[in-house]
Amino acid sequence: FLKGKTALITGSTSGIGLGYAKALAAQGANIMINGFGETEEIADIIKELQSSSGSGAVYSAADMTLPGQIRAMVADCNRELGGPDILINNAGIQHVAPVDEFSEDKWDAILAIILSSAFHTTKAALPTMKSAGWGRIINTGSMHSLVASPYKSAYNAAKHGLAGLTKTIALEVATQGITVNCICPGYVWTSLVENQIPDTMKARGLTRDEVINDVLLANQPQKKFVQVDQLAALALFLCRDEASAITGTNLSVDGGWTAQ
């Protein structure tokens, strides 16, 4: 149902973003992926997306900390594939440390990648969506867009900020056929989660199993990780005409985390 539409997904060389890219491609959308990774792996992803969509798929190496590269990415997308009609702001990194020991560089990088990049992509992409009278902006928030956990000051601040940005833009474009929503996952088993285990072990003096069961899943009532496919299915639904009245929302897919 997305034939002729173009989706630009930041941070889509792995994890949740790659799941979104595959799901949208399977519905025929042109796809621009973005993120870091090995050249060969990225080439394989592009081939897979092209063959499943029968449409175009290209890669942008733009660094989401650099506004100039972000603007160039959106312009490249428009020139090479059209659109973007669907923009998914998904790039993210994590850093876990008490605030009084928190690296200033990590603070700046997390705010830039998660929050400021979504401002820059949205600003650059909106004119095309407005002239088409149709658009979908989906931001990957987190349960940490809505509630906090200790030792994640930058991430929680950035994700709460993204929830506010989502609502603001939704209001600004409410009459123009464009919806803006935040998907807020609980813990999803991806490399982002796996990579924060060693730092959490250090910060809390725990073993790997203790971090998984007593920290990560402690507050996730279903006691299992959210699956990438479950998030991708929701993103697809948000792209449907049936979802045109859903805007400005934070949609939790968190196994009950924020019900507490």
Residues in touch with ligand NAD (CB under 6 A): 11-17, 34-36, 63-65, 90-93, 113-114, 140, 142, 185, 187-188, 190-193
Q: Which is nearer to ligand NAD, 46 or 174 (CB)?
A: 46
Q: Which is nearer to ligand NAD, 13 or 247 (CB)?
A: 13
Cα-atom radius of gyration of the chain, to the nearest Å? 18
State the alpha helices, DSSP H only, in the chain.
15-26, 39-53, 67-81, 104-110, 117-132, 153-172, 191-204, 208-210, 228-239
- DSSP conformation class of 102: -
Smallest CA-to-CA distance from 19 within 175, 195, 227 is with 227
CB atoms within 10 A of CB 150: 11
Residue of 20, 59, 151, 155 with catalytic role: 155
Q: Which is nearer to ligand NAD, 88 or 170 (CB)?
A: 88
Q: Which is nearer to ligand NAD, 12 or 181 (CB)?
A: 12
Distance from C-alpha of 136 to C-alpha of 125, rounded to nearest angstrom: 10
* 8-to-57, 58, 73, 153, 201 alpha-carbon distances in Å: 10, 10, 9, 28, 35
Phi and psi dihedrals of 146, rounded to 5? -120, -35
Q: 216 by DSSP, 3-state: which?
A: helix
CB of 32 to ligand NAD, least distance (A): 12
Q: Which is nearer to ligand NAD, 131 or 222 (CB)?
A: 222
CB atoms within 10 A of CB 245: 6
CB of 62 to ligand NAD, least distance (A): 6
Distance from C-alpha of 30 to C-alpha of 7, rounded to nearest angstrom: 6
Q: Which is nearer to ligand NAD, 81 or 235 (CB)?
A: 235
CB of 15 to ligand NAD, least distance (A): 2
Distance from C-alpha of 33 to C-alpha of 35, rounded to nearest angstrom: 7
CB of 177 to ligand NAD, least distance (A): 26
Smallest CA-to-CA distance from 240 within 86, 109, 18, 47 is with 86
CB of 120 to ligand NAD, least distance (A): 12
CB of 140 to ligand NAD, least distance (A): 4
Active site residue 151: no
Positions annotated as catalytic residues are 155
